[in-house]
Amino acid sequence: VRDARGGCLFIDEAYALADRGGDKFSGEVIRTLLTEVENHRTGLLVVLAGYADKMDTLMDADPGLRRRFSLELRLEDYSPEELAEICEFAAADRLHLTFAPGLRAALAQHIRRRHGHEIGQHNGGLAVTLAERAFRRLAM
């Protein structure tokens, strides 16, 4: 937190801070974070990110969390078409591959049929995983 003073601290998968088993360390981390946020209201921006249901669990872990993190921004999951576009970008950016014409639309259909149930769990990570998996298969 000290290193982020004067800037922004982004905590992805922030729900990991709240251990369901009542871990003493988790509570200590949350209390320390709340103290830092309170003591540095104007010089520190803290963003907590994660899946909505798990973030609700985090916010219920300590009454001070909802008070100090009162602004909530919920982003919709990507559509299969958007995931196919992300996959195409990842293939080009990370793997230096170019999609053939029509591949993005075919991939969107594949994502909808085979991975529709996973979209809310993995979201953008699903697209990158699919691109990397395809690259590994090409390399064989």
**Token pair listed for 3:** 């290193």
pLDDT of residue 22: 60
Please state the domain extents for the chain. Answer: 2-68, 80-139
The answer to whether the CB of 84 falls within 8 A of the CB of 122 is no
Q: pLDDT tens for residues 125-139?
A: 878 888 788 878 877
The answer to whether the CB of 109 falls within 8 A of the CB of 80 is yes
Between CA 60 and CA 110 the distance in angstroms is 38
Distances 93 to 101, 106, 128, 132, 140 between C-alpha atoms, Å: 18, 20, 11, 11, 21
Q: pLDDT tens for residues 83-132?
A: 999 989 988 988 888 999 999 999 999 988 988 777 777 777 878 888 78
Provide the percentage of residues in the chain whose pLDDT is more than 90. Answer: 37
